[in-house]
Amino acid sequence: MTQGQAVSQASAAAINEAYMQARKSRALWESIWRDCYQYALPQSDAFQTRMNNAQIFDGTAMDAVDQLASSLLANLTPPWSSWFGLKPGPELSAAEAEALAPVLEGAARVMQAHFDRSNFAVEMHQAFLDLVTAGTGTILFEEAGVGQMSAFKFSALPLSSVTLEEGVTSGRLERVYREAKLTVAQIQARFPRAVLPASMLRERDPNKTWGVIECAQPDAEKPVIRYAVILTEPYETLLSEAQLAASPFIAFRWAKAPADVYGRSPVMKALPDIKTANKVVELILKNASIAVTGIWQADDDGVLNPATVELAPGTIIPKAVGSAGLRPLEMPGRFDVSQLVLDDLRARIRHALLTDRLGQIGDRRMTATEVMERSAETALLLGATYGRLQSELLTPLVQRGWAILRRRGEVPDLTIDGRTVQLDYRSPLARAQGQRGVANTINWITTTLAMGPEAASAIDLVGAARFIGEALGVPSDLIRKDLSNPIQEKKA
């Protein structure tokens, strides 16, 4: 064994050992994940939780999960719509910012076009389904081949195939392991640069699968991502490794408690009500079947044979003279109270899954103020969740896409560091959060202007216009930076 092979084998062993330790932490969550998938996203391959449809009697949770995932897609990353932008950072002067703004807006449009032409919307919705159901979603962001319509390629990874670890200092899911069973042909197609052992190449069975683990983690010494692929069966071998500017695995959570690694989903919160509603509907259906067909009793008089009796219209059932024959059994009570219980359970499930908050506006007579208040309430309701998704999902998405296009030369050779270039969120939910500040600013300007010229001189109309434009997500190249206050100039 050469020195390079020994180092590679040691690295593969270290990655496999760290992966096995992370798997032990994940095992504590698998039972509740299984229940969540069974009742909210049945027939899923995740954790082998395929259930018979006959065991699911209430579809409230499944409908609410689909609506919430669709609402997240429309509010955070709406397809064919600009949900992010780039603008000059605070360290630039006004002249530098004005010169750089058109360049950044053009680069943002180029990157948005790659998102729109890719399969981003399809895979992102699937990842949101995992996020709502199990609390953690993972998406694989790869570079597409040369000649494709888009430079981006996305794959929503099921939670059963990934194992996550949280960063010590950042608090984000920085270390991601993905486990898969692949054939030799699949390994060569997925990892073209992988160096396979000779024993694998001599394998005669083309359908034999091998255990493969992909690992992406930050480098301890450099600001890069270490990406490695190892073979776990039948021996630990390093197949491929690389250094990337941004991680291809993007893991994000709905909410988390202290010391938790994986997220907590709204389905987890509503799981007791979901199970109870499913059982109540099952009992209602059983009671309905009894009410329709009834329970019957008959005397054993030697004439009536219950095994041959068929309850159908026009049927003549023989009986002995003087016997009671076939008669229905009186039920001791009714189950009408179940509907009240079921309505309450369904209302709590919809409330926990935000269906009553993020649904479509049904009343056409709603005023503009009511719509604005509804948007503000939604922003407050999803404030903590949106902040987490902005940090763990939206920012890594843009950084990964920027790294790919920067390497291809399609965008300027700049870094989104928050100082010279900063990310501008323009999704509907981000704009809803800025509506309150815009309304307060406009109200203050209107009131101050009504006080007269002396009070109006305190208004910086140019600064107010810039603030409103940024809050509403107006492209930064449309906002001029060299304007002065006309009211103050007129007074001077």
Same domain for 263 and 385, yes or no, is: no
pTM for the predicted model, two decimal places: 0.84
Same-domain pairing of 131 and 264: yes
The proportion of the chain whose per-residue pLDDT surpasses 90, expressed as a percent, equals 45
pLDDT of residue 456: 83
Bridge partners of 238, per DSSP, are: 230
With bands split at pLDDT 50, 70 and 90, how would you rate the model's confidence at 7? very low
Q: Which pLDDT score is estimated for 4? A: 46
- Taking residue 124's Cβ as centre, other Cβ atoms within 10 Å add up to 23
Residue 268, pLDDT above cutoff 70: yes
Q: Does 306 score more than 60 pLDDT?
A: yes
- 104 found inside a domain: no
Burial class (CB in 10 A: 0-12, 13-18, 19+), 70: middle
- Annotate the chain with three-state secondary structure: CCHHHHHHHHHHHHHHHHHHHHHHHHHCCHHHHHHHHHHHCCCCCHHHCCCCHHHCCCCHHHHHHHHHHHHHHHHHCCCCCCCEEEEECCCCCHHHHHHHHHHHHHHHHHHHHHHHHCCHHHHHHHHHHHHHHHCEEEEEEEECCCCCCCCEEEEEECHHHEEEECCCCCCCCCEEEEEEEECHHHHHHHCCCCCCCHHHHCCCCCCCCEEEEEEEEECCCCCCEEEEEEECCCCCEEEEEEEECCCCEEEEECCCCCCCCCCCCHHHHHHHHHHHHHHHHHHHHHHHHHHHHCCEEECCCCCCCHHHCCCCCCCCCCCCCCCCCEEECCCCCCCCHHHHHHHHHHHHHHHHCCHHHHCCCCCCCCCHHHHHHHHHHHHHHCHHHHHHHHHHHHHHHHHHHHHHHHHHCCCCCCCCCCCCEEEEECCHHHHHHHHHHHHHHHHHHHHHHCCCHHHHCCCCHHHHHHHHHHHCCCCHHHCCCCCCCHHHHHHC
Q: How confident is the model at residue 375 (pLDDT cuts 50, 70, 90)?
A: low
- The reply to whether 276 falls in a domain is no
pLDDT in tens, 135-151: 999 999 999 988 899 99
302 φ, ψ (degrees, to nearest 5): 85, -5
- Residue 52 scores a pLDDT above 80: no
- Full domain range(s) for residue 184: 3-92+118-268
- Residue 1 pLDDT > 70, yes or no? no
- Residue 402, pLDDT above cutoff 90: yes
Q: Residue written as tokens 């870094």?
A: 415
Do 9 and 139 belong to one domain?
yes
263 and 386 part of one domain: no
Ranges 38-47, 125-134, 305-314, 433-442: which has the least confidence: 305-314
Question: Residues 456-482: what's their mean pLDDT?
Answer: 79
Q: Side chain identity at 16, as an amino acid letter?
A: N
Q: What is the mean pLDDT of residues 158-171?
A: 87
What does the pLDDT read at residue 197?
A: 85
Q: Is residue 126 part of a domain?
A: yes
What average pLDDT does this structure show over 466-474? 79
Residue finishing a domain among 230, 249, 268:
268
For 381-401, write each residue's pLDDT tens digit. Answer: 777 788 889 899 999 999 999
pLDDT at 6: 47
Residue 2 is predicted with a pLDDT of 46
Q: Is 341 among the domain residues? A: no
- Total tally of structural domains belonging to the chain: 2
Residues 169-228: pLDDT tens digits?
778 898 999 999 999 999 999 998 888 888 888 888 889 999 999 999 998 888 899 999
285 in a structural domain: no
Q: Does residue 267 surpass a pLDDT of 60?
A: yes
Q: Compute the average pLDDT of residues 231-254.
A: 89
Structural domain contains residue 481: yes
Least confident of 129-138, 189-198, 335-344, 359-368: 359-368
Same-domain check for residues 157 and 14: yes
Do 383 and 238 have their domain in common?
no
State residue 316's pLDDT score.
66
The amino acid present at 122, given as its one-letter code, is V
**Residue 320's pLDDT band (cuts 50, 70, 90):** low
- Of 268, 302, 328, the last residue of a domain is 268
49-53, 82-86, 125-129, 167-171: the lowest-pLDDT one? 49-53
Q: Is residue 208 part of a domain?
A: yes
Least confident range from 9-18, 371-380, 408-417: namely 371-380
Same domain, 249 and 398: no
Residue 421 lies in a domain: yes
pLDDT, the chain, mean: 83
pLDDT tens figures, 434-452? 777 787 888 888 888 888 8
Predicted local confidence at residue 36, as pLDDT: 93
User: Among 248, 268, 288, which residue terminates a domain?
Assistant: 268
Give me the pLDDT at residue 325, please: 66
